[in-house]
Chains A and B, each alone.
Chain A
Amino acid sequence: MTRLLIVFAQEMRLATRNLWVLGATGLLALFALALGFLGASQGAQYDVDVLSLTAASLSTLSVYLIPLIALLMSYDALAGEVERGTLALTLATPIRRSELFLGKFLSQTVAVGVAIGFGFGIAGLAVGLVYGAGADGILAWLRLMGASVALGAVFVGLGLMLSAFAGRISTAAVFAIGLWLVLVVLYDLALLGGVIAAGDSVFTRQVFPWLVLANPADAFRIFNLAALDAAPVSGIDGLARTLPFPPAITLAVMLGWGLGALGLGIWRINRIVP
């Protein structure tokens, strides 16, 4: 256990020293503030406070941003150590390989979490102070922050798992960008195309909802938007609102992806030849 903490501490030190946390915090705060203040004028059209409205639009943006930040942070973690020779050194010590993997996972998840906490926290505070905030708005904002950390954790796990499989930094980078494109961009496009082509059919009513749910990024969106009845949504999110299952199941989907990534990653790191 203590060796896991030593890896954790070293990785945290690297993440803060490399200004990763600071950069990610700034980026997230900037986007959240922009959405909050630029979108605030629309608030009057709907019967919701600005904070809820911003939470809705920010959850749509977070689906793109947070996986990207998490993958950029994690893709190099094992492949880079293989290339630089430090993995051989670490694995020559009596550490368990699963401890190394989990230590890296925890520290990078905390790093993403700290960036989300400060970035969204600062923005939420600013929007709330300027436009006022009700209990619903605050709750929506907190839900968004919590779910964002969960989404970040899932993609840190996926990034580390891919890094363990890649063996080289360049391959790991290709894997990470590929995964982001597939899960965050192409998946939704393909599903929307499918729904449009199928029209009102068995696919649209029976298969499509489960396919949406199966993607961790979409699960994150559904979780956030299901609670925001009044906020305007469009595209796949609008369809998502009519899904035939309780929103809490989306958390189980994210948990499943996270555990799957960790399991596969640990399986793989035990087979790495440094």
Chain B
Amino acid sequence: MTDQPILQIRDLSVDFATFRALSGVSLDVAPAERIALLGHNGAGKSTLFRAVLGFLKPASGEVTVCGARPGSHRARVALNYLPESIAFPRALTGQEVLRYFVGLRRAPRSEVMSLLERVGLAEAAGRAVGTYSKGMRQRLGLAQALVGAPRLLLLDEPTSGLDPISRRDFYDIIAAAAGRGCSVLLSSHGLEEVETRVDRVAILSRGMLQADGTLEALARNAALPVRIRATAQAGQVEALHSRFGGTRVNGASIELLCQADEKLDLMGRLMNCGPLIRDIDVQVPSLNSLYRHYSDLAEQEAQP
């Protein structure tokens, strides 16, 4: 039972009047797992969330949340949601807004203040939401999403428009929730920002899932080269270049491209010629380049 996925999406397709927004998407979220769902605007991220919430009915395929149908009472108890754009009533205070959701989820009243403290809004608890900054409103949204210790968090572009510090705090809070056993599915098109923040990445493009796995697995499948830059000791760059080849860079370094599984071997060989080398810099493919790789795949498939 413990290994049963919190969220199970099987071959999901969702149609709008004139087009297919999602087609044949399958995705599992395990307990306490954090997954980032990446995609361009209009790739189908929000549509996927709304199908998981039970707002949209699938044209085909199946979604289960903790074994229950989306939108059923059990599914709604298990999952909490933060939409992409949200405007709480401006006349109410943060505390009043949160008390409402604590009430609807039948969580203990004491959660109101403890959650406001956790997202750093304790000071502003009694102020009207209309006076909040964008970051504060977003944090209130996150506090709302943490009400009642959910099993699954659905966060639709939770950090869009936040400054880097707020963003880091945001991910710390999400990580703490995951540490308590809560699964997280969040969407983003800030690619680097999720790189160290999630366990797995799923890439959605044109309504189809292009990739799903750990960053390492995605990188392996994409076979994007690892870039190793070796800086030579003074005057040794020629020797280094003649031994390893590669590209000469700014007079003192060479740059080598290799596949991920050759990386250790190559680095070992570089290490072995100790006197020649002053420094080694390894650049694994960034999520950005990976993302572009998988998105471009979809574009190529779309061409006739």
Contacts and interface: CB of A to CB of B under 8 A. Distances in A.
Interface size class of A (residues with CB under 8 A): 20 to 34
Contact of A84 (B73, B84, B87, B104): B87
Contacts of B87: 84-86
B28 interface: no
Nearest to B105: A93
Interface string B185-199: 000000000000000
Interface residues of B, number: 27
B76 A92 contact: yes
B217 interface: no
A202 to B, nearest CB: 48
A96 to B, nearest CB: 9
Contacts of B25: none
Nearest to B88: A86
B55 A3 contact: no
Given A6-B104, A18-B91, A273 B56 contact: yes
B92 A13 contact: yes
A36 B87 CA distance: 44
B88 A92 contact: no
A84 B86 contact: yes
A6 B53 CA distance: 22
Contacts of B84: 85
Contacts of B89: 14, 86
Interface in A72-101: 84-86, 88-95
B77 interface: yes
A16 to B, nearest CB: 9
A265 B292 CA distance: 47
Given A89-B144, A92-B79, A93-B104, 4 more contacts: A86-B87, A92-B81, A93-B101, A94-B76
The 3 closest A-B pairs by CB, nearest first: A6-B103, A84-B87, A92-B81
21 contacts: A2-B103, A2-B106, A3-B104, A7-B104, A10-B92, A13-B96, A14-B92, A17-B91, A84-B86, A85-B85, A85-B87, A86-B87, A86-B89, A91-B55, A92-B53, A92-B79, A93-B76, A93-B104, A93-B105, A94-B105, A94-B106
